[in-house]
Structure 1
Amino acid sequence: MQLSQQRILLTGATGGLGREVALLLAKKGAILGLVGRDSQKLNALKQQVEQAGGRAECLVVNLSDEGASTALIQQAKAALGHIDILINNAGVLDFIELQDQSDARIAEMVNTNVTALIQLTRAILPDFQSANKGHFVFIGSIFGSLGFPHFATYCATKFAVHGFSQALRRELVNTKIGVTYVAPRGIDTPMNAPNVDAMWKKSGNAVDKPDKVASLIVKALEQEKQELFIGQPQSFFAWLNGVFPSAVNIGLKQQTALAAEFLKKPHP
């Protein structure tokens, strides 16, 4: 797929990964709709996109708001003319014992990582079906195939995204609408709390720079790949978890013990 002049809607645009994806797409000649909650960050990114020779429109929205997905699609079509590609990148993460995670935070994570993503996909789907073309990109995680201790709710949301992408791809099998699912391992972004970074360092788990991951995402889009898993040995363990989960359980016992010392207990 040639990305020049493609009109691309990118959620989570101002995060560490989203920013790098936006800048790479701009260099490819794409026309971007940058979605986020912070207008100042969006405008700053728009300037960087334009300095890179691209074009971008800022779309300030809180996807948690009722009706936000439908409104965003209408707003994006007004700004861009139409949408060729939707990249669902927005997400939130917690490293916490489940018993310490509040009901409100669980609801927020599920809504941001799953519900908004599905609703936004549904909102643009009729246009893609009418034109019999378009492409969806879902940024998932290795944790969408490998349940990891102290990331229970996050893992649940990413398993959901993985399953949704597979089901949607099969639902659209007789169309020319593409679906790409990308599963990175840890990424070095501000999304990670300092205790998470410290844990990965002590455990020896490598994390990737966001520009590297962004490059692989854009390449997967250009090649119209169905799925891309990034990083070893994490990708191998994700595969192994699907065929021999008891072996992974044994391997993660040590990781569970190591992770415990980095957990931050909430204040009483």
Structure 2
Amino acid sequence: MTPMSSSILIVEDEAQIRRFLRIALSAQGYRVLEAANGTDGLAQAALARPDLMVLDLGLPDMDGHEVLRDLRQWSRMPVLVLSVRASEGEKVLALDGGANDYVTKPFGIQEFLARVRVLLRLADGPRGEPSLDNGPLHIDFADRRVTLDGAEVALTRKEFAVLALLARHLGRMVTQQQLLKDIWGPTHVEDSHYLRVVVGHLRQKLGDAPTRPRFIVTEPGVGYRLIELPAAAPPEETP
């Protein structure tokens, strides 16, 4: 999906922010739609079928969480929440409610544009791929095999399950609750220490430092994200 073919709906009540985003997105070649409230946003989402929604939570007619809940009843379009609300609870509520990413105000426009590109690329990408190449990391979902720089990495079943789930949401935050529910089961959604231990082992095996992550980013109290990396350079041919 190229920028010229992608449309983005901004649901935001502040006219200055809508204008700022419209200029930035239009300069990248995106087609921009705008709505100043949740009702209009849902109507435009249904009629125009944009490729991505940028959603503020503090709307004048309905809370952004309500917009997200209504949207998810009939659409899987990517949603990037853009809000001044920075608490863990708000982020977890939005991500568990179906948002694909969450950016807090004030924000850097380059990071915002990068997250837009990731969400559009994921929405346009093939589903059910048997494997994933992410920089030097290769994940074979079918054979449950992981290699790093060509060398196999031995993972336990839980370690592979966590990495595979993060990989299937590449570049997007996955909440602790989602990981615990999908991998350990619905009775373990509060057992975050299980997840911390497994992620710690994963980092050790991948040579990843929590303070300077190469692969797995932690947002404390919210969840984890597998960083999308550029393709690894092919090995040089020997003469």
TM-score normalized with structure 1 length: 0.39
Structure ranking higher in helix proportion: 1
Which fold has the larger relative contact order, with Cα–Cα distance below 8 Å and residues 6 or more apart in sequence? 1
TM-score normalized with structure 2 length: 0.43
